[in-house]
Structures are given as C-alpha cells and as structure tokens.
Amino acid sequence: MSLLVVGSLALDTIETPFGRVENVPGGSATYISVAASYFVKPVRLVGVVGSDFPKDAMEFLESREVDLEGLQVVSGGKTFRWGGRYHYDMNTRDTLFTDLNVFEHFDPVIPESYRRTTYVCLGNIDPVLQKRVLEQIEKPRLVVGDTMNFWIKRRNAELKATMRLLDVLIVNDAEVRELTNEPNLIKAAKSIMGMGPRVVIIKKGEHGALLVTGNTIFSAPAYPLENINDPTGAGDAFAGGFIGWIAKTDDLSDDNLKRAVIHGSTLASFCVERFSLERLKDLNYIEILDRFREFRELSKFDEEIAV
Ligand code: AMP
C-alpha cells in the first residue's frame, strides 16, 4: 500500500514552560510523514519549502524513506514559519505568528508516480490546496483530512467544499465546535457526518480522542506521560499514526479504525516528549508496539465483583 501526504513544512518557533526553540523543523506534512513512515512505505510527500529549509531535515525525511519527488523547493524563497506559545495547561496555545511565505503562491503539482496512491492524508494547509491535490489523483481508497482554526476562520466556504471529499475528518474539540456551532461533541460529530466525512475523530489533547462512525463511538485515552515538553505536532503525529496503520493493514472495519486511533495516540504521545521532531527521530517499531499494548492496560478492568 502507498500513502500520499500533503501539508505544511515549516520552521517553528516554540515556547513552552520547559524551553524555547527557534526555527526548528515542523509543519503538518513533516510530522504526518515521519509518524506514518513507521508503518507504511512509500510515503509520498507534496509540499513546498524555501531554500532556507535545513538540509539535515531533508536528509532525515529521506532516511525515513519519505519520497520527496513532490516537494517543491523555491530557490531564494522563505519557508513557511509558525510561532506558538504554550502555558502550564498545555492543551491551549497562542499562535504568535503565521508567515505563509512560499505557501502564498504554492500550486501543488502531483508527479506522475504519485497519481495512483491508495491512501491520502491531507494535512493542515489551505483547504483550496488540499482540494487541488485530490483533483489531480485517481480516487484513493480513503482520504483523511485535518484542519485548524486558522483555516476555519479564513477559508470557511472552501474548507466545507474540501470536506465533501473526505472520508475521515480529524479535528480537535475546539475546532469541531467552531465548525458546527455545536457545543456537544457527539452532536458536533454527527453534524460533520452530514457534511461529507463518514468518520469523525475528535482530538481532546491530554484527554484522548473520540472516534465516531455510523455504528460506533469509541473513546481512547491519552497516554499518561509525566514529561511533556512540547505539544506541537501531536495532532499531526496522531494523523500519521492513524493513517499509517490503516495503510499498513488495508482494513477499514470499525475494529481496525479503533486500533488505528490507538496507534495515532501512541505516535502523538512520543511526539510531545521532546521538542520538534527529536523524539520521533529515534523511535523504533518495538517501542511503538510496547506503548500500543500499554494503552490496552490503561482502561482494562474486571467486570466481576469478588464476593
Ligand atoms: P499540531 O500541533 O499538530 O496542530 O501542528 C503544529 C504544526 O502545524 C506546526 O509544526 C506548524 O508549523 C503547523 N501549522 C501551524 N499553523 C498552520 C497553518 N495555518 N497551516 C499549516 N500548518 C500550520
């Protein structure tokens, strides 16, 4: 199976109560591809960077066997930059700046070798660009899409048009409320299901994630970590783990969607342990499986009452 990922590649400046980093590699496509690369090969990347995107970040993506044929490098251009600040409650963050730079005039061109890809993940990026990618490829088996408040505010109509083409929407709790004007998450998920996606996944930060399909509601816990340094990219690592597992197993049953949600939560939990891509860089598959199994123990209990 193959996976196509489109999204942002960024240089992030991040402040958390535990440190500050400047111009470190980030972006939705970066986190998604790296997380998914632990499950599926090839991961085909579509995006754009300027000539200032670090060579070692590019080499790292290549070392994870991420196909960069669809990555445009604009010579003399500046890479997308994003700045964020987290407080002690790491579920909320302030966006300090969003400089689109090379994304402003980006026109995704899908290489011939990408046109027949089984699975597609549309990472957080302008929904107009997400749609343009889908228009250039043969119909995939499953399209997963992500977005964020920035686009819900600025490109609402365009986002709704892209949503009609999605099978799975991944959003966080605040975003789904904003998208639907519905405070109750289950009602909000059902309202999204009337807009295109047949599966909705709502991320709730340190409170886990909710999977809603036509037949199932599944609540996954978050891994109870003691050391969280930087929540940036958790949502994207979640999406990468989720779609990576689906692409590896090629099974769209509700039971397998639940496993995929736990794999997403697993990759997100590793991502937040360190800044930028640092923790996702040195992972191995055994560690992923061990933590995946720990998730089962987290909410397993005995229904028998001892008398
Ligand atoms: P997450 O923490 O999973 O929501 O993703 C954070 C990543 O999204 C960061 O690495 C940012 O570079 C990237 N990002 C932030 N704002 C945007 C935006 N408006 N469009 C695309 N990517 C963004």
What is the C-alpha separation between 177 and 184, in angstroms, rounded?
A: 8
DSSP 8-state secondary structure symbol assigned to residue 123: -
User: What is the DSSP annotation of 54-83?
Assistant: -HHHHHHHHHTTEEEEEEEEETT---EEEE
Ligand 1 in reach of 124 Cβ (< 6 A)? yes
pLDDT bracket for residue 92 (50, 70, 90) = confident
What is the C-alpha separation between 70 and 110, in angstroms, rounded?
A: 6
Whether pTM > 0.85 for this model: the answer is yes
CA dihedral (9, 155, 153, 32) in degrees, to 10, reads -30
Ligand 1 in reach of 172 Cβ (< 6 A)? no
Look up residue 166 and give its two tokens: 């999605």
Residue having the nearest C-alpha atom to atom 13 of ligand 1: 27
Distance 258 CA to ligand 1 centre (A): 25
- Give the sheet arrangement for strand 209-212, strand by strand: 66-74, 43-50, 3-6, 119-122, 142-146, 168-172, 199-203, 209-212, 217-220
pLDDT at 304: 85
Distance 1 CA to ligand 1 centre (A): 27
Ligand 1 in reach of 269 Cβ (< 6 A)? no
pLDDT bracket for residue 49 (50, 70, 90) = very high
pLDDT at 299: 86
Residue 205 in this model has a pLDDT that exceeds 90: no
Residue having the nearest C-alpha atom to atom 1 of ligand 1: 233
- How far, in Å, are 35, 76, 161 from residue 233 at the CA level? 10, 27, 25
Ligand 1 in reach of 27 Cβ (< 6 A)? yes
Look up residue 208 and give its two tokens: 């886990």
Residue 306 in this model has a pLDDT that exceeds 80: no
Collapse the DSSP code of 195 into the 3-class scheme (helix H, G, I; strand E, B; otherwise coil) and give the result. coil
Using one digit for the tens of pLDDT, what is the confidence trace for 259-304? 999 999 999 999 999 999 999 998 999 999 999 999 999 988 888 8
pLDDT at 303: 85
Distance 215 CA to ligand 1 centre (A): 31
Residue 89 in this model has a pLDDT that exceeds 90: no
Give percent of the chain above pLDDT 90.
94
Residue 64: phi and psi, rounded to 5, are -85, 10
- Amino acid making up residue 31: Y
Residue 47 in this model has a pLDDT that exceeds 90: yes
Mean pLDDT, the chain, integer = 96
pLDDT bracket for residue 195 (50, 70, 90) = very high
